Amino acid sequence: HGAWIDGIRVHDSTRRPSGTTGLRGNVEIERAGTIALVGRPNAGKSTLLNEILGEKISIISSKPQTTRNRVVGILSQPPAQIVLVDTPGIHKSRTRMNQAMVKVAVDALADVDGVCWVVDAIKAVDALESGRAVINRGRDHIAKLIEQAGDVPVTIALNKVDRCNKRKLLPVMAALGGRLPGAELVPVSALRGEGVTNLVELWAKQVPEGPAMFPEDQIMDGSERFVVAELIREKVFRLTEQEVPYSTAVHVEKFDESQRDEETARVTIYATIVVERPSQKGIVIGKGGSMLKHIGTKARMDIQRLLGCRVHLDLHVKVKDKWTTNPRSLREIGLE
């Protein structure tokens, strides 16, 4: 059970019988962390996510990347909880990537517990067959970003092996392994689900010991709120045409579900968009409130689709109170 929205998988634990956590037996989460999925478009990242997280219920087309690391799926498979994330910038074409963007991508990768580079084996074999290098400029660029991220453990999912001659895969694997010697290579077919458990097992070892990052029996609630905030944030970013920065936060203040089970099901959400500067507040509100209304309408449509019921969305905008809410400032004054 679950839903996909904007490529984000939302586990639905509400349909489980009450009294269970929805997890197998009484095994607890003992390790938890984030794994970044990287790779060129069409390498098969979404297919892999679907395969890992189960049945795809609904997919809404891709969206611009608006956060440092965007959660795209949560796999709670005790004893490990693996939070799969997407990183901003990393999928941008090499030529369009300026230095600032490279830094964003590298910082985002340095933040995670593991990186999984998804490589299209069909293309790699093709390259080799026609006498081109497996490590072309595009692949070299991704390898560089991964290297610059430091000590992060790396898996390379060599995907689409269902359509490759196994013997021709060997030199491809040698080339990739030669470029990133520390990486674990795993041939997979995301489409057929082959090799995927090997990959998940490696990730489960890469995430550090610690408690679940998302409450196990509240995964639905937690990620619903989270996804709602992300959906609003995405609208802010997209509709203002990126005049409002990445760092814009959305706080879901109240999530009133008291009418959710009624015949005329309805959820009321109170959320605040927190911007950095008064000028940005002006942009988000727009002339006569037109921009905020637009943001609200678009976000509400997506949220309704996520929650499967009518939604009343109450949006406010405020300028950030610098010293208490900005993690960067907290770090600067040594509190974090």
Give contact residues for ligand GDP (rule: CB under 6 A). 39, 41-47, 159-160, 162-163, 189-191
Q: Which residue is nearest to Mg ion (CB)?
A: 46
Residues 37-66 that bind Mg ion (CB under 5 A): 46
Task: Tell me the Ramachandran region of residue 128: left when phi exceeds 0, alpha when psi lies from -120 to 50, beta otherwise.
Answer: alpha
Q: How far is the CB of 169 from ligand GDP (least distance, A)?
A: 13
Q: How far from the centroid of its chain's Cα atoms is residue 237's Cα? A: 17
Query: 3-class SS at 121?
Result: helix
**What are the DSSP calls for 16-83, one per residue?**
SPTT--SSSTTPPP-EEEEEEEE--TTSSHHHHHHHHH-------------SSSEEEEEEEETTEEEE
Question: How many residues touch Mg ion (CB under 5 A)?
Answer: 1
Q: Which is nearer to ligand GDP, 62 or 98 (CB)?
A: 62
Contact partner at residue 222 from ligand GDP, Mg ion, none, CB < 5 to 8 Å by partner kind:
none
Residue linked to tokens 């000590």? 151
Q: How far is the CB of 142 from ligand GDP (least distance, A)?
A: 12
Q: Which is nearer to Mg ion, 7 or 153 (CB)?
A: 7
Q: Which is nearer to Mg ion, 46 or 189 (CB)?
A: 46
223 binds Mg ion (CB under 5 A): no
Distance CA 20, CA 16 (A): 7
Q: Which is nearer to ligand GDP, 193 or 286 (CB)?
A: 193
Q: How far is the CB of 67 from Mg ion (least distance, A)?
A: 17
Q: What spatial distance separates the first Cα and last Cα of the chain, rounded to whole Å?
A: 38
With beta carbons less than 8 A apart as the criterion, state whether 34 and 153 touch: no
Q: Which is nearer to ligand GDP, 81 or 159 (CB)?
A: 159
Residues that bind Mg ion (CB under 5 A): 46
